[in-house]
Structure 1
Amino acid sequence: MIRPETPACRFAPSPTGYLHLGHAYSALFSWQKAREVSARFLLRIEDIDTTRCRKIFEQALYEDLAWLGLEWEIPVRRQSEHLPEYQSALDKLAQRGLIYPCFCTRKDIAEEIGQSGNAPHGPDGVIYPGICKHLSSSEQKDRKDGGAPYALRLHMDRALAQSGTLFWQDLAAGDVHATPEIFGDVVLARKDIATSYHLSVTLDDALQGITYVTRGRDLFEATHIHRLLQALLDLPVPRWHHHELVSDDQGVRLAKRHNALAIRVLREEGKKPDDIRKMIGLL
């Protein structure tokens, strides 16, 4: 598929907490990139994790981003409202024999790895050892009919055979050879959650016509998988720019799990938008 002619950037947070300084950096970085290249700027709410996402956090995101001076196109795309589109993509992959159900628990995987004595690792940790990869169709059906929980995994060997050699362009790193095999058979959906980050973000960027994907350096490796999914689903290929992460004085990344300062707390303390820009080095 041909890349859209109109350039577009996006900021795609998950409403699982209040906007913090790391988020502000990523949002402002994308906003500034959009202005540099005269691109559209879109906001997307990645709310597929129904166990952690909250409307109160989503509303706070809108308020804090507007306070920072950002403007975005309306309506905002919310992933929870587009589950049929992700299912359609899964159906296309299934028709080509590229996904399979995995019924393994974490305990099953740990035991298999323990018996093998050699556990290859990828960016997400231990690579899935393929326990369910060769189950027959009847075995898969029997387990599903029995109500067993399962995940849908990408059959990496077949996917690579169909995609061929792939590259992607990062504005900071240059041309990168895609090596999605370092992840093994990644999960693309679960029985109780109809999509995964890898599948939904790839499809969303294509459907929204995103041409510049700006995001943190911590997601650099994930792009190997996204480039593969683009090839398998015949989606346009954007350019990426993985920016550095914002850290505190001790070098600790500013993120929710590290109790980074929330923008609304700083607002209550009297900080102004330019103060935030100074704090994250984007003034």
Structure 2
Amino acid sequence: MLMSYFTAMGRGSSKPWREMPKNKTDDLSFVENYQPKKKKVKHLRILLHGPVGVGKSSFINSVTSCLQGRITCSNAFTDATSGGSFTTQYKTHKIKTENSARSCPFVFNDTMGLEEGNNHGVHVEDIKLAMKGHVRENYMFDPKSPLSEGDEGYNPCPTLDDKVHILVFVVDAGKVSLMDDKVVKKMRDVRRAACDLGIPQLAILTKLDEACPMAKTNVENVYKNDYLKQQVDMFSQSVGLPLSCIFLVKNYSSEIVTNDDIDTMILNTLRQIINYGEDFLDNLEQN
């Protein structure tokens, strides 16, 4: 039984279910030269959310490493233990490229992880307020009490820059089938709120090297792997996101130097995130 499980995890098809992105140079150029088309927007705001320990902060660090050409963890602190959420504050993470002293015109906001109970993890209402721009910088998440109007961390008059322009779900690729029903329900609740606000959503499945032994040594063929395809399908059905909005990403974890294949996956996903965010801003212009 155990042997058949690992065989399934490593099984691949001769034909990929999605083409692996190849053009790192083109995607890197796109990201480095990106500027929001809407003049009133200084930066595109990307909100990451998902269960505890899935790699939200690690994704921010991986993007930074990719754009700076070296491994870095100075942007968002992570925790190697398996405890509760290491992110406790609402912070805006700015990114710089290797060849520029200026920050990129897109920013990431990380959130405390979702957990099963009512008094554990981030409150869904706090995520909803963050999407509307009502959460101030450095607000300390309180698992027992969501932010309320009049609280010190509440922003009563958010600008377009304060609001979220693209919501990104982050999930552990090897634990999609193990997600608690209450956590899935919270994710669907957040997605409905984002839809009501017109905010586009995208998902990334991380920790490919833990979910699929093949990815530990070679990430080139992850889109040929049957097990990973099953996880993508399962997450799509659970949360309701179209398959075209779900991407596989290998975060930097044990590496001490950057890798072209990992960079390519990160850059291609980042490009899609930016494009989705631009669609949101473009719709605002038309309405």
Class of the TM-score when normalised by the shorter of the 2 chains: under 0.3
Higher CA-based Rg:
1
